[in-house]
Amino acid sequence: MVVAYVDTSLVVALAFGEPSVAGFSDRLSRIDRLCSSTLLEAELLAAAEREGLRSGVRRFIEPIHFVFPDRRLSNEIDAVLACGYIRGADLHHLATALFLFDKPAGAFFLTLDAQQKRFATALGFSGLDDLG
């Protein structure tokens, strides 16, 4: 079973039909379970509202399983910040992914954000390119 953490940048691009994700559907079909923080829902709906597209984007949230940490993410946040500075929302996504996958080697973190991708790689996650 292939499980992946997905951040907002990829889901927004899919929901808005951005050309940059045209070739990703085949790769994404290899994922059995997509997971994310509930932050994704807020970020996606805010972006959709800004673009006047909110009514059509909820279907992009439906296949996502939300991760609900039962404790503070202090250890995971510290691990991410050991790689350098990253803005809060991106930090939250990466920390939640570390909570989900306590050993990120071989786990997938799917993002279109270049800085988040660098951090995810530094933490040991595989990315979209590794899906084949």
Structural domains in the chain (count): 1
Beta strands per DSSP E along 7-130: 33-36, 64-66, 108-110
pLDDT at residue 132 tops 70: no
Domain that holds residue 120: 3-131
Least confident of 32-41, 76-85, 121-130: 121-130
Q: What percent of the chain stands above pLDDT 70?
A: 99
- Residue 113: CATH number of its domain: 3.40.50.1010
pLDDT at residue 43 tops 80: yes
Q: Quote the mean pLDDT of the chain.
A: 92
CA distances from 127 to 2, 7, 72, 73, 81 (A): 13, 11, 26, 22, 20
CA distances from 83 to 51, 106, 128 (A): 33, 19, 21
pLDDT tens string 10-41: 999 999 988 888 777 778 888 999 999 999 99
Question: What is the DSSP-derived secondary structure letter of residue 129?
Answer: G
